[in-house]
Amino acid sequence: MGATFLSELPVAVLAEHLGLPRREAGNLVEALRRLGIDTLGALAALSPSRVADRFGPPGLRALRLARGEDDLLVCRFHVAREELSEEIELPEGTAGSSLECALELLVDRLLAAPRRKSRTLLGLRLGALLNDGESWSVEQGLGRPTASARVLRTVLVPRLEDLPGPAVTLWLRSVGLGPRAAEQMELSVPGEESRRRLLGAAVREVRATQGAAALLKVLPVDSASRVPERRAMLTPFPDL
Amino acid sequence: MSLYEPRRAAVRAGPGGEPCAVAGIAVEAVREEWLVEDRWWAPRPLRRHYFELALVDGRNVTVFRSAASGCWYRQRA
């Protein structure tokens, strides 16, 4: 059962369980990916001798984990498998940029959920309840675990074009949670990175002293609505 | 959480339904009034009668009466 459960997870989740220095574990995961072994299921299907030949003892350790032969790991993954979910009711005729604002709000809420406990997301499912009572949803992989609102928005916004009709509710669910965000590698942009770090430190400090709900941002949702409370939402300020 | 959430208000209305006082402050003039109807097809339709008021103390306030509950609310709009 454990192996079945694990099979669809990306090989990136192995990194922190291999007992290797981060760089070495990252290299192993990257090497697996280069060979087209993207999921634990693909890894588990390989023979131990082939894995040992190519990757040595760390590879065998990865294979055991992928096959669910490490009960502790399976248990930990089951805990991490818990799902986060957010939904938002849409005003009539929401489309275009307003729909993107709604999605942005959902992403911010999902990332701000206390149950996430700083863990990254492995995948997402975006869905909607349509005007005619039908439902629609689509699964979106992320390539690698991330907790970046910018990344999530970038991959999800194009999926809104697949919506088959007007929606009354939009929802977003996590599909698996990965390692903590602080353990993930980040792309750095000179200059911007240092500002983001400073801002991130300030955000964490304010949250630590004033509580998680102390920092919010105003998100325009439907600025032309005749119902004032629908024009803008207060949404959690994203982690930086 | 939304900006501009309506908040319950103590409004005294005259026989015609127009507000006479808000939180005990008399209404000097009704500057504008309008109806908002939305989601009439849904189980909980929205129907509000808004009034933009000038009070005798010089403040402008916007209030509305919810047709569903009959209650008065104040709202920044």
pLDDT digits (tens, 9 = 90+) for A144-187: 888 888 888 888 988 888 888 888 889 999 888 887 766 555 55
DSSP 8-state symbol, A10: B
Does residue A17 contact residue A65 with C-beta atoms inside 8 Å? yes
Q: Which of residues 127-186 of A touch B (CB under 8 A)?
A: none
Round to whole Å and give the CA distance between A59 and A64: 9
- What's the pLDDT score for residue A162? 85
Length, in residues, of chain A: 240
Q: Tell me whether B1 touches chain A (CB under 8 Å).
A: yes
Q: Tell me whether A89 touches chain B (CB under 8 Å).
A: no
**A231, closest residue in chain B (CA to CA):** B3
Average pLDDT over residues B47-63: 94
Q: What mean pLDDT is reported for chain A?
A: 79
| Cβ separation A229–B3 shorter than 8 A | yes
DSSP 8-state symbol, A183: G
Q: Tell me whether B75 touches chain A (CB under 8 Å).
A: yes
Tally of CA atoms within 13 A in the half-sphere of B35 that contains its CB: 4
| Cβ separation A232–B38 shorter than 8 A | no
Q: Which of residues 5-64 of B touch A (CB under 8 A)?
A: 5-6, 36, 38-39, 46, 48
The closest alpha carbon to A118, from A87, A146, A152, belongs to A146
ipTM above 0.95, yes or no: no
Nearest CB neighbour to A227, from listed B1, B36, B76: B36
Distances (CA, A) of A224 to A76, A94, A228, B31: 47, 11, 9, 21
Q: Tell me whether A231 touches chain B (CB under 8 Å).
A: yes
- What's the pLDDT score for residue A4? 62
**Stated pTM of the model:** 0.44
DSSP 8-state symbol, A115: G
| Cβ separation B3–A231 shorter than 8 A | yes
pLDDT digits (tens, 9 = 90+) for B8-24: 999 999 998 999 999 99
| Cβ separation A226–B39 shorter than 8 A | no
Does residue A109 contact residue A233 with C-beta atoms inside 8 Å? no
